[in-house]
């Protein structure tokens, strides 16, 4: 019985020593994400981690689809965007004189661009797709 009493006292002493040795510190919260005030160096780590675990493809915006396209298709897409950019630059140079839009109509192979003066220095630019008849417009002040 004395030996059992001795073991209980020894165990209690060890527990008390462990409790005294465990020091408590103040808990401090900090954001990891740099968008919310965290360290900016965490951004690339968080992005690469999210990209590595992302298994979804956003078909509407083409996000993730580039990984499935061949290099030839990617090159063709880049080439197409480059040519369309040059064509829109050439078309806009015919619509602008001295930094001002010129009211009138310009027709290309596929599109009709109509610039109309709404008065008060406001112009409406309407672009119509000849094949489908759909159009879009925006207003700009001069």
pLDDT at residue 20 in the model: 53
Measure Cα distances from 42 to 29, 34, 105 in Å.
Answer: 16, 7, 52
pLDDT at residue 48 in the model: 84
Tokens 């797709």 -> residue:
129
Answer whether residue 6 is part of any domain: no
Domain span at residue 77 reads 63-142
3-class secondary structure, 7? helix
Per residue in 51-92, pLDDT tens? 888 877 666 665 554 456 788 888 888 888 887 787 777 777
The secondary structure of 53-110 as a DSSP string is: H----BTTTTBTGGGTS-HHHHHHHHHHHHHHHHHHHHHHHHHEETTEE--EEEE-SS
The secondary structure of 23-58 as a DSSP string is: ----------SGGGT--GGGHHHHHHHHHHH----B
The pLDDT > 70 percentage for the chain reads 74
Answer whether residue 74 is part of any domain: yes
The partner residues of 125 in beta bridges, in order of sequence, read: 115, 138
Measure Cα distances from 96 to 103, 120, 125 in Å.
Answer: 9, 18, 12
Parts of the chain with a pLDDT under 50: 21, 65-66
Contacts of 21 (CB under 8 A, 6+ apart): none
Answer whether residue 57 is part of any domain: no
Answer whether residue 140 is part of any domain: yes
Cα-atom radius of gyration of the chain, to the nearest Å?
Answer: 34
pTM, full prediction = 0.40
Answer whether residue 70 is part of any domain: yes
Question: Which tokens is 19 given?
Answer: 């409790």
Answer whether residue 135 is part of any domain: yes
pLDDT at residue 2 in the model: 58
pLDDT at residue 63 in the model: 57
Answer whether residue 112 is part of any domain: yes
Answer whether residue 131 is part of any domain: yes
Q: How many domains does the chain have?
A: 1
pLDDT at residue 1 in the model: 52
3-class secondary structure, 9? helix
């Amino acid at each position: 019985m004395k030996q059992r009493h001795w073991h209980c006292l020894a165990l209690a002493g060890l527990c008390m020593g462990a409790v005294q040795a465990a020091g408590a510190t103040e808990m401090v919260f900090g954001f990891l994400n740099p968008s919310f005030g965290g360290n900016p160096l965490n951004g690339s780590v968080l992005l690469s981690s999210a990209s590595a675990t992302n298994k979804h493809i956003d078909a509407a915006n083409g996000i993730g689809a580039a990984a499935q396209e061949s290099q030839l298709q990617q090159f063709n897409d880049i080439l197409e965007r480059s040519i369309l950019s040059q064509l829109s630059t050439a078309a806009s140079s015919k619509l602008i004189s001295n930094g001002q839009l010129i009211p009138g109509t310009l027709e290309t192979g596929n599109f009709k661009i109509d610039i109309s003066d709404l008065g008060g220095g406001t112009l409406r630019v309407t672009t119509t797709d000849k094949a489908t008849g759909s159009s879009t417009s925006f207003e700009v002040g001069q």
